[in-house]
Structure 1
């Protein structure tokens, strides 16, 4: 799943939310239209790493297991065949920072309108807001039908 294709690249943020699944579907359709590739990026960070707003994550995170879950999530959303064409990236760091770095040189950065979890909803769209303000490429914010 570690394919690097030449040509236009679309980066999509994945966090397990319905909104990020809608963003993944949008990114794959768009990449197909421009004959591009898709990098699905999931970020993780340790609790307290970035102050009070950092998500609570198990400090015993098994990166291999998390990477396998990401690949499984891509397969569940896209189907196994389509998911095999998407590059899955699990990166440690603040989600907005990780996505901004991943999107350098990309055709577009695609994110969901909000993340998962009760506290994340209180910060409605904080990552999407940050990337929209700071990305060096077009940013697409996708709402899920459930939003």
Structure 2
């Protein structure tokens, strides 16, 4: 495990899916065990990144609203006090590229088993699969229902 800024980091991908919520909870517990911190990462792409014709600027995207929604999502999953301990990063780019970049030097990259992929996933492979194949750190893939020792069962 490589240290960045002398603290171990656990990077977790968050995309509003039940499995990413389970991954976020898992990442927080794992970080506590190893004495590290958690960096929750959400990626966004402009609509033209999907290959269909769209305006050069997405008029419906408001970064401030997206960041507020992301922060609220983390709060809803973890509760106010745990959410305050998590660094939150909303990054423009393809989810796989963003997560791999953010996880360089991390103690672990944690992702959900099924995200918000849709049809694109069938063409390119899932984010979790690509992260497992290409990450430079250990990758943990968490299902929406996760057994956590001594903490009960999380289900969404």
TM-score normalized by the length of structure 2: 0.81
Show the counterpart of 1:55: none
Over alpha carbons, which structure has the higher Rg?
A: 2
Show the counterpart of 1:37: 37
Shift of 1:83: 0.1
Aligned-pair Cα RMSD in Å: 2.4
Give 4+ residue runs of structure 1 displaced > 4 Å after superposition.
120-125
Show the counterpart of 1:99: 99
Look up the SS of the partner of 2:47 in the other structure. Answer: coil
Q: Using the alignment, how far apart are the partners of 2:49 and 2:135 within structure 1? A: 22
Q: Using the alignment, how far apart are the partners of 2:83 and 2:124 within structure 1? A: 28
Map 1:1-147; keep pairs closer than 5 Å.
Answer: 6-51=6-51, 59-60=58-59, 61-116=61-116, 118-119=118-119, 126-145=126-145
> Could you list the per-position Cα deviations for residues 49-86 of structure 1 after superposition, in whole angstroms to 9, with x for gaps in the alignment?
1547xxxxx92311111111111001000000100000
Look up the SS of the partner of 1:49 in the other structure. Answer: helix
Q: How many residues align?
A: 139
Decide whether aligned partners of structure 1 residues 108 and 121 sit closer, same or farther in structure 2, where only a CA change above 3 A counts: same
Shift of 1:6: 4.2
> Could you list the per-position Cα deviations for residues 109-140 of structure 1 after superposition, in whole angstroms to 9, with x for gaps in the alignment?
00000112643675696100101000000000
Shift of 1:89: 0.2
TM-score normalized by the length of structure 1: 0.85
Q: Answer whether contact 2:117 2:126 (CA < 8 A) is retained.
A: no
Show the counterpart of 2:152: none
Segments of structure 2 that go 5 or more residues without pairing to the other structure are 146-154
